Each structure stands twice: as C-alpha cells, then as structure tokens.
Amino acid sequence: MLAQATVVHYMAIRDVVPSLVLVVVIWYAVRADALRAAIYGLAAGLCEDALSAQTGAAWTIATTLSALLASRLSRGFFADSVPLATIIVVIATLARALIFWIVMALAGYPSGLGTLHFHQALLQAALNAVIMLAAILVVRRFDTAPR
C-alpha cells in the first residue's frame, strides 16, 4: 500500500498507473477460497479509500468484488498457472474499473468521461498483467521448494 501511494506513480505510462494493490489481492484471491479473498479485498479496498480523497467506498466495493470474482474464476485450475493468473488479472482489473466507476456515478460523479476511463482501464489491465507475470516468474526463479 505504501509503495502504491508513494512510488508507483513514477511507473505511469500515459498517466495510467499500475495497481500493485490489485495485483497482490488477485494473487491471494486465486489461491484462497471466496470468503478469504473477499475479506482480503475488503481490507485492501478500505486502505485505498482511506488514502483517497473523494472516493467514498468505491475502492472498497470494487476491490472486494474483484477479489471475489478472481477467486471464483480460479476454482478448478492450478493457482500457479501463469496464463490463468495473467488472464484473471486482466479480467479483474477491467471489472474493478467498471465497478469503481459505477459506484462513483451513483455517488454523483459525472459519467461523461467513460471512453477515457475505459482506455485507461485497458492500459492498466495490461500493466497489471505484466507485473503479475514478472512477479510469478521471479517467485518461481527463487523458489527453493523441491519439485
């Protein structure tokens, strides 16, 4: 959370910042049951809303539902599957952006910038997928457990 709030904005591409918080939540969610994933997403979303100025509970709701979605999508698959984790991160990022902007619109935020937000969500999904891919590969490289 600290890195997301202080350092990650230096990694922005076209004013889009990857979400390390979401990547960590999804990484946990693909390995946990739905209840634990939702609780973890709820905690992460609460922290994001605490650090945001005017989002109300939008990050809390969006991150919780994204964690729940990721947990449900990963059932029946291997949790350490690189393609699966990458695809789930992309889907969860897009779903989280959609839920966030729906909640913000219900709270009175003007919805006229939908196309811009959609393009930002697509780029953030790609950035999050790259971060998830890199994290999985680094962990696999330094994993000392016998196979």
The predicted pLDDT at position 116 comes to: 80
- Are 22 and 10 a contacting pair, CB within 8 Å? no
Whether the predicted pLDDT of 76 surpasses 80: no
pTM: 0.89
Distance between the two ends of the chain, CA-based, in angstroms?
A: 32
Name the DSSP letter for residue 9: G
Whether the predicted pLDDT of 123 surpasses 90: yes
| Tens digit of each residue's pLDDT (9 = 90 or more) over 10-57 | 888 888 999 999 999 999 999 899 999 999 999 999 999 998 888 889
- Classify residue 9 as exposed, middle or buried by CB count within 10 Å of its CB (0-12, 13-18, 19+): exposed
- For the chain, domain boundaries: 17-142
- Are 28 and 21 a contacting pair, CB within 8 Å? no
User: What would the two tokens of residue 89 be?
Assistant: 């991160």
